[in-house]
Amino acid sequence: MKVGIAAVGDVCDIACWSGIPYHFWQSVQSAGFVSQPWRIDLDRLRWPRRYWNGLQCLTGQRGGFQYSNRCLDLLEKQIAGDQWQSEIISFNQHFPRASTVALRGGILNHYLDAPFVALASGRGLDLKLPRKISNCAAALERENYSVSNRIVAMGRWAADVIVSECDVPARKVNVILPGANLVLPEGWKFPQPVGQAGIDRPFTLGFVGKDWQRKGLPLLVKIQSNLAKRGWKSRVLAAGAAPPELKRNEGVEFVGFIDKSLNADRFLQFLTACDVGCLFSDREALGISTLEFLRAGTPVAGFAHEGPADTLPPDAGFRFPLGASAIEIADCFESYLRNEADQERFRENARRWSSLVTWTRCVREFQELWETGGIAKPVQPWKGLAVIEST
């Protein structure tokens, strides 16, 4: 049976859901699956969304169109009849509906960064919806999972919630780390740092993200400031829009938004210009940016909480408990700056992780799961490289 790749949007568009379905589809094709991308035109939902939202306002409620039956009806109508008769892997908790898949002769599977029930309760992200819509969406999620053949989570915390709160048998749930949305050019070599970080040149803390507050940019600025007060050359190098309150901060350099689909080389240069890629989120479903830093051979740091707990390898990353202060984190970084051997070890390990945090490896694990029902040696960054090499 052919494989259908489903998402709320056009799977062939790299802009669809941060490019995750696109990169998965590309790797599925390379691996030899007979794949069929689902191509949803979201522009066709623009006016129905406005009409639906207008009716919602009349009842004193706002938001939630994408979880409504009206939206799901319109999405499913865009899928041709023969596309349903496939082994569908969906990146969405609600689309397509399990009842529709069964009626059309397909098999439903999911690949998710987080279950809806977690998002609706402020875990992973903070998804705020009217109670009625949230309850209906949670019920539909449970119905979909009950019929789904397999549910693959991108992180362990999400898998735990799917089992404990969505009443899914543990035997149906697996964890497969996704890949970094970054393709290294052919013949590319990891650049060697020039000079000693913090002394000869600034110790550069990298940051990627539009949701700068949730992803911890203010904390990162405090960490840099603390290091500077101790006499260390340092800076925060941030990709994304510059918030007014941080734009004029002396220790922060904003490089603006980098479109990875158009400026892949520039994005790679940004990643390798950093000494440590940072993600200090208090809520995060996964954290693709940490995988992108590792793919470029750059060590990482962040709160080992929710999704990032699976993307911060202890041999190439700093794993801080949620709530660690700027002073505590700066203490750790200062110790790192005083030890060149530790820096070299982390860089070397990050480069070894590079070949493991790819979509090619991710799809290879999917193939093994589909063919054998399990994964003998899954890539699990939280266990470190030594575990992978010894298994």
77-122 per-position pLDDT tens digit: 999 999 999 999 999 999 999 999 999 999 999 999 999 999 999 9
pLDDT recorded at residue 391 = 45
In 3D space, the residue among 328, 304, 330, 305 whose CA is nearest the CA of residue 317 turns out to be 304
CA–CA dist 285, 153 (Å, integer): 10
Name the β-bridge partners of 109. 89, 150
Same domain, yes or no, for 29 and 131?
yes
- Identify the DSSP state of 39: B
Sheet holding 234-239, edge to edge: 252-256, 234-239, 203-208, 276-279, 300-303, 317-320
CB neighbour list of residue 252: distance below 8 Å, 6 or more residues apart = 221, 224, 235, 236, 238, 246
pLDDT value of residue 261: 82
203-208 and 107-112 as β-strands: parallel, antiparallel, unpaired?
unpaired
pLDDT of 162: 98
H-helix segments, the chain: 20-31, 46-58, 69-77, 81-84, 98-104, 116-119, 131-147, 156-165, 217-229, 244-247, 264-272, 288-295, 326-337, 340-354, 359-372, 385-390
- 186 within domain boundaries: no
Q: Which of 31, 67, 24 is nearest to 49 (CA)?
A: 67
Q: Are residues 337 and 230 part of one domain?
A: yes
Is residue 252 in some structural domain? yes
DSSP of 224-284 = HHHHHHTT--EEEEEEB---HHHHT-TTEEEEE---TTT-HHHHHHHHHT-SEEEE--SS-
Report the distance separating Cα 71 and Cα 64, nearest Å.
Answer: 10
Angle, CA of 272, 277 and 283, to the nearest 5°: 150
**Do 20 and 99 share a structural domain?**
yes
Is 378 in contact with 365 (CB distance < 8 Å)? yes
Rounded distance between C-alpha atoms, residue 64 and residue 130, angstroms = 8
Measure the CA–CA gap between 160 and 108, rounded to whole angstroms: 20
Inside any domain, residue 194: no
Using alpha carbons only, what angle is made at residue 357 by residues 355 and 358, rounded to the nearest 5 degrees? Answer: 80
Pairing verdict, β 3-6 and 35-37: parallel
Pair 121, 258 in one domain = no
Kindly indicate the confidence band of residue 245, based on its pLDDT and cuts at 50, 70 and 90.
confident
The pLDDT of residue 388 is: 64
Q: Report percent pLDDT > 90 for the chain.
A: 86
Residues 42 and 166 in one domain: yes
CA atoms within 13 Å, Cβ hemisphere of 117: 19
125-165, pLDDT tens digit by residue? 998 898 999 999 999 999 999 999 999 999 999 999 999 99
**Residue 223 and residue 113 share a domain:** no
Domain boundary among 337, 354, 371: 354
Backbone angles phi, psi at 113, to 5 degrees: -85, -25
Same domain, 157 and 36: yes
Looking at the structure of the chain, the number of domains it has is 2
d(CA 41, CA 75): 8
Q: Examine the domain organization and report whether 102 and 225 are in the same domain.
A: no
Residue 188 resides in a domain: no
- Residue 291: inside a domain, yes or no? yes
Q: Is residue 192 part of a domain?
A: no
Of 131, 159, 175, the one marking the end of a domain is: 175
CA count, 13 A, side-chain hemisphere, 297: 17
Burial of 372 from C-beta contacts in 10 A (0-12 / 13-18 / 19+): exposed
Strand, helix or coil for residue 201: strand
pLDDT tens figures, 24-81:
999 999 998 878 999 999 999 999 999 998 988 877 777 899 999 999 999 999 999 9
166 and 277 inside one domain: no
The Cβ of residue 167 has, within 10 Å, a number of other Cβ atoms equal to 10
Answer with the one of 175, 193, 214 that is the final residue of a domain: 175
Lowest mean pLDDT among 8-22, 60-74, 327-341: 60-74
Do 149 and 10 share a structural domain?
yes
For residues 147 and 11, membership in a common domain is answered with yes
CA-CA distance, 270 to 276, in Å (whole number)? Answer: 12
User: Looking at the DSSP assignment, which residues form a beta bridge with residue 301?
Assistant: 278, 318
The upper half-sphere exposure of residue 141, i.e. CA atoms within 13 Å in the direction of its Cβ, equals 26
Please, which contacts does 98-102 make with residues 24 or more away whose CB atoms are closer than 8 Å? 98/143, 98/144, 98/146, 98/147, 98/148, 99/143, 99/147, 100/76, 101/147, 102/147
Residue 367 falls inside a structural domain: no
Q: Please indicate, yes or no, whether residues 210 and 292 belong to a single structural domain of this protein.
A: yes
**What rounded mean pLDDT belongs to the chain?**
94
Its pTM stands at 0.95
Residue 181 lies in a domain: no
Can you read off the two tokens belonging to residue 151?
Answer: 């549910």
CATH number of the domain within which 237 lies = 3.40.50.2000
Amino acid at 122: G
- pLDDT-derived band at 389 (thresholds 50, 70, 90) equals low
Domain with 213, as residue range(s), is 203-354
Strand 87-90 versus strand 3-6 pairing type: parallel
pLDDT of 22 above 50: yes
